[in-house]
Amino acid sequence: MIAFDRGITRLAAGCARRATLAVLTLTVVLSAALGTSWPVVAQSSAEFSTRARNVILMDATTGAVLYQLRADERVSPASMSKLMTVTLVFKALKSGQLKASDEFVMSLNGWKNGGAPSGTSAMMVPLNQKARLDELLQGMVVQSGNDAAIAVAEGIAGSEAAFAKLMTEEGLRIGLKNSTFRNPTGLHDPEHLMTARDLALLARHIIREYPDYYPLFAQREVQYRKHKFINRNPLMGSPGVEGMKTGYIKQAGYGLVATASQDGRRLIAVAVGYDKAEERKTDTLKLLEWGFKGFTEHKVFEAGETIGQARVWGGSRMFLPLVGKGDVAILLPRFPANQKLKAEIVYTGPLKAPISKGDVVAHLRVSSTSGAVNEVPLVAGEDVTRSGVVRRGFDSLVHMALQLVPL
């Protein structure tokens, strides 16, 4: 049984009363510390030991992070960055900008620097020959074909550099704050960098935004012309494993983004910087197993239950009730038992009217004595309409007065 401190409501009311200082300051501190709005759990080496240099384990549904090790260090992602290459293709296919039957020509640049002459992983598309987009997608996902990635990049944007700019822009749009792309392949460039966290967020984005294309990562093999390619993901065939992408270059070592489902839960594991390919396989499998067996879901608030109050400026009411989007549940380690939880409501305040019931306006940040941390979105429990000029003026005076209240 987990002891949950219901004093969160009193905490929330206190924070709401001093929204400008207390809650806004809290938001800034969290953003600076985490570098993202996603929850973070820093597990000790005694709980899980890894040979990788950079690791993160994320729950795909909630975004909760179950384990991290130097997850915000910018490193070379190698071919794992092809996840962004295929993301741009998925986006174009979903919007109708491209069709699976569209053909792309293998240029001299693509053939020489990504094909057979390059000595790197290649789909082996002949020079000046056309290949269908669906074939090139399979070549990138299953074989990690650099020639396929270059052909797609040149066909969409005209050059690798122009396509890499689109990759960086899309990355920023979806919340990858520490990624810069310089090519569509992941071949070494000192400025082509990602973090383990960004790779996990990218994988989660693909799962959520492109469910029709996500099964492509589970494809075990592909036949192209006279070549038969086997999926390079060493975890394929392991129980529950669904994808996603491997990576290796000399400067970065071996890396893997892996997704797996078990008993209705899906996890995303990212591990970068192994010295040996076999370590990458065994270590990542252990990480996934640890995540499935070592954590369980706990409901802390019922659907519709008021969790706290947020200060509102210029509205028909001064305080807004905050509720969860349905039941509020969090993931916590199974051990130790009898964990106590601390909760904080995080929002940039005061909130400005009008606000519609159901709008996401805050987050509930829950941490346990074991070190686990989850972050759950909170929504407005009621509508708040915009007030008149007199009320807004009064709220401005209250807002300025609260700024002078010491924390």
Q: Based on the domain organization, do 390 and 305 belong to the same domain?
A: yes
The pLDDT tens digits for 287-339 are 999 999 988 888 888 988 999 999 897 888 889 999 998 888 888 877 766 77
Identify whether residues 33 and 67 lie together within a single domain. no
Closest CA to 194 of 161, 233, 168, 163: 168
Tokens of residue 204, six digits: 């989660």
The one-digit pLDDT tens for each residue of the chain (407 residues) are 333 444 443 333 333 333 332 333 333 232 322 233 333 333 333 367 899 999 999 999 988 888 889 999 999 999 999 999 999 999 999 999 999 999 999 999 999 999 999 999 999 999 999 999 999 999 999 999 999 999 999 999 999 999 999 999 999 999 999 999 999 999 999 999 999 999 999 999 999 999 999 999 999 999 999 999 999 999 999 999 999 999 999 988 999 999 999 999 999 999 999 999 999 999 999 999 999 998 888 888 898 899 999 989 788 888 999 999 888 888 887 776 677 778 899 988 788 889 999 999 999 988 776 656 788 889 999 999 987 665 556 556 555 555 544 44
Number of domains in the chain: 2
CATH code of 262's domain: 3.40.710.10
Contacts of 19 (CB under 8 A, 6+ apart): 310, 311, 347, 349, 350, 351, 402
Within this chain, do residues 391 and 313 fall inside the same structural domain, yes or no? yes
Q: Are 40 and 65 in contact (CB under 8 A)?
A: yes
Let me know if 82 is a catalytic residue. Answer: yes
Q: Which of 359, 372, 286 is nearest to 62 (CA)?
A: 372
Same domain, residue pair 158 and 132: yes
The answer to the question of residue 286 being in a domain is no
Q: Which helix (H) or strand (E) holds 387?
A: none
Structural domain span for residue 356: 3-38+298-403
pLDDT at 49: 85
In a domain, 226, yes or no: yes
- Residue 161 has what pLDDT? 97
Q: Is 144 a catalytic residue?
A: yes
Q: How far is CA 366 from CA 88, 214, 300, 301, in A?
A: 34, 31, 10, 12
Residue 219 burial (10 A CB sphere; 0-12, 13-18, 19+):
middle
b/e code 376-389 from CB counts within 10 Å (16+ = b): bbbbbbebbeebee
Same domain, 162 and 310: no
* 378 and 343 assigned to the same domain: yes
Same domain, 261 and 114: yes
- Give the active site residue among 76, 82, 107, 368: 82
Q: Quick one: tokens of 174?
A: 């979806």
Asked if residue 43 is part of any domain, the answer here is no
Out of 81, 107, 121, 144, which one is annotated catalytic?
144
Q: Is residue 230 domain-shared with residue 351, that is, in the same domain? A: no
Listed in sequence order, the residues at least 6 apart from 361 whose beta carbon sits closer than 8 Å to its beta carbon are: 310, 320, 322, 347, 351, 355, 378, 379, 380
Please indicate, yes or no, if residue 207 is contained in any of the structural domains. yes
Domain shared by 211 and 93, yes or no: yes
The question of whether 79 is a catalytic residue gets the answer yes
Co-location of 82 and 129 in the same domain: yes
- Supply φ then ψ for residue 66, to 5 degrees: -90, -25
pLDDT reported for residue 343? 85
Residue that the structure tokens 């051990």 belong to: 335
Q: Determine the pLDDT at residue 390.
A: 53
CATH number of the domain within which 337 lies: 2.60.410.10
| Structural domain contains residue 73 | yes
Is 119 a member of any domain? yes
Residues 254 and 385 in one domain: no
Question: Which one of 79, 107, 121, 387 is the catalytic residue?
Answer: 79
Would you state the pLDDT for residue 334?
76
The verdict on residue 293 lying in a domain is no
Residues 133 and 256 in one domain: yes
Q: Is residue 268 part of a domain?
A: yes
